[in-house]
Amino acid sequence: MRRSFWVIFAIAALMLPVSAATLPPVQIDVNAGRVVHTMAGGAGASWHAMGPDAYWYKGLNRNNRNARGSGWGGNPPLEYSAAWNDLRKHARWLGLDFIRVEVSMRMYEPERGRFDWENDEMQTLYKILDICRELHADVFLTEMWQDVDWNAFPAAGRLQSAPRSVPDFAAGVGALLEHLVKDRGYNSIRWFCITNEPGMDWGWWNGPDGHPTTIIPALHAVRSELDRRGLSGVALSGPDWSLYDQHPEFDFADKSLGAHDAHDYSFTADPGMEHLWAERAHARSIPFFLSEFGSSAGGDPSNDPATTSPASYANQLVNAEKVIAGFNAGVDGFNRWSFTNRGDLDGAWQLVRTFDPKKWDYFKHVTPEPVPYYSYGILTRFMASHSAVLETRVLQAEGITAAALRSPKGNLTIYVLNRSGATRQLTIAVSGLEGSHTLHKYQVEGGSVGKPGYQMNPLRSFGISPESGQVSDELPGQSITLYSTYKLMEDDPGITAEDAY
């Protein structure tokens, strides 16, 4: 009886939550005088211009309703001016400054050589690009798929087909970019990607046999066409694969490429893989972008939607690790899937609510999807594009990820992610400072971020100087914490391209 009591007592003790006092403190060392990488971009979210019309694709080996994933139908109708004003406000609040804007060839060249610059989808594209210009955001324009019969291989189908005529494809892309950059003045378009996720049977670049074919000839043709039209300032990016896919027919050394990019929907962050991609691009002095990322699992193994939904807080922590670890790995820009999204096609990926799936209608006003909005916003809101990544070391680091950025104008921002369930004592030591600074603390926690009335205001402030560059604080379990010389209140816009002002 007595022995059983002590066994039960010991088991109960092991089940008690771990307190900060029982774990060693976390030490983070930031060298503000040592830059390890300067980013070529920033952070933002996919913003697709494709309209709400659904299509039926004959012979398609997938569900027609979500055959295009959720890359369509996320924007309010053009006449909903209040909703578009809301989108402008939310994009500015989030500080989106590296935005993957998505189009299809059907939008602008539905028939060979017949261009339509005035339809609703093109008008939507102009609205998106207008906002990007207002934000001084860098645009990573992507043609997701052709979706035209006139240039498709029958065995592949118009949605998933590579171009039957590469010269016609290149001429169409050239006409689009000349119209956008020269005629309409959208000089913020800095990169162009010719297709979304090629190289897989389920992808969008399949050849005459219905299977994947190489994109290299099309890259050469598009590069030549853009140069011919005087658009050498628009770089081509590729291959737009998953981080984990291997396709030997692609030449990463191909000189037509001005950037490498990849997608990451893995259920855990993999900074080692991000580093390999970044190292390969930087060896050629070109950037590497995580041009699409997200997470829709990694939570409760029971597949509880509360943890496996893309909108769950558990998945926001995975996304945060991909970004924070990605800074240190050398990633030049991050693009989350996605800003606007219907939310009922292939998951609730949206940062803002534009569509009511219950009423099957668009909202007249756009509001945040609070958990993803604030959990991603704490990463983007205080980050200027083209920031320098500072040397950062983490000691006693189990479950802790940290990175530090210095903006083009010298503002310091330190990110700390605690994915463990334990509260930890934290010390940040900042060396290499020039002058005295005030760091303002912001934080996201799962228990509060989704509640009505949540606001992202400074929680406290810390003074640091060359003589005393140390911050002592406490990190709650499963939290994202940020310390920044930017002091932003809830009503303030986020930081975008600071060097543009």
238/368 Cα distance (integer angstroms): 32
| Banded model confidence at residue 410, pLDDT cuts 50, 70, 90 | very high
Residue 501, both tokens:
């002002």
| Banded model confidence at residue 11, pLDDT cuts 50, 70, 90 | very low
Answer whether residue 420 shows pLDDT above 90: yes
Tokens 């292939």 belong to: 346
pLDDT attached to residue 60 = 82
156-160, 250-254, 297-301: which range is least confident on average? 297-301
pLDDT in tens, 302-355: 566 666 899 999 999 999 999 999 999 999 999 999 999 999 999 999 999 999
- Mean of the pLDDT values across residues 49-54? 94
Residue 281, both tokens:
């691009």
pLDDT attached to residue 245 = 76
223/211 Cα distance (integer angstroms): 25
pLDDT attached to residue 66 = 87
- Mean of the pLDDT values across residues 465-482? 96
Answer whether residue 248 shows pLDDT above 90: no
Spatial strand order in the sheet of 138-145: 43-45, 333-336, 288-293, 257-264, 235-242, 189-193, 138-145, 98-104, 47-48
CB 183 within 8 A of CB 159: no
pLDDT in tens, 196-226: 999 988 899 999 999 999 999 999 999 999 9
pLDDT in tens, 427-439: 999 999 999 999 9
SS3 assignment, position 13: helix
pLDDT attached to residue 9 = 34
pLDDT in tens, 121-171: 999 999 999 999 999 999 999 999 999 999 999 999 999 999 999 999 999
| Banded model confidence at residue 21, pLDDT cuts 50, 70, 90 | low
- Mean of the pLDDT values across residues 348-376? 97
pLDDT attached to residue 10 = 37
Tokens 């979304």 belong to: 196
| Banded model confidence at residue 498, pLDDT cuts 50, 70, 90 | confident
Tokens 């391209």 belong to: 497
Q: In 3D, which of 74, 103, 68 has the Cα closest to residue 204?
A: 68
SS3 assignment, position 170: helix
Radius of gyration of the chain (CA): 24
pLDDT in tens, 474-483: 999 999 999 9
Domains of the chain: residue spans and CATH: 17-36+388-500 (2.60.40.1180), 40-380 (3.20.20.80)
SS3 assignment, position 443: strand
Percentage of the chain exceeding pLDDT 90: 85
| Banded model confidence at residue 186, pLDDT cuts 50, 70, 90 | very high
403/389 Cα distance (integer angstroms): 8
Amino acid at 136: H
- Mean of the pLDDT values across residues 69-91? 97
- Global confidence as pTM: 0.94
pLDDT attached to residue 298 = 58
CB 259 within 8 A of CB 286: yes
Residue 492, both tokens:
């303030």
pLDDT attached to residue 305 = 63
pLDDT attached to residue 303 = 62
Amino acid at 17: P
Residue 214, both tokens:
């190489």
Amino acid at 337: W
pLDDT attached to residue 16 = 41
pLDDT attached to residue 8 = 33
Residue 391, both tokens:
């040397």
pLDDT attached to residue 19 = 52
Per-chain mean pLDDT for the chain: 92
pLDDT attached to residue 15 = 39
Q: What torsion, rounded to 10 degrees, do the Cα atoms 193, 198, 199, 205 define? A: -120
CB 31 within 8 A of CB 303: no
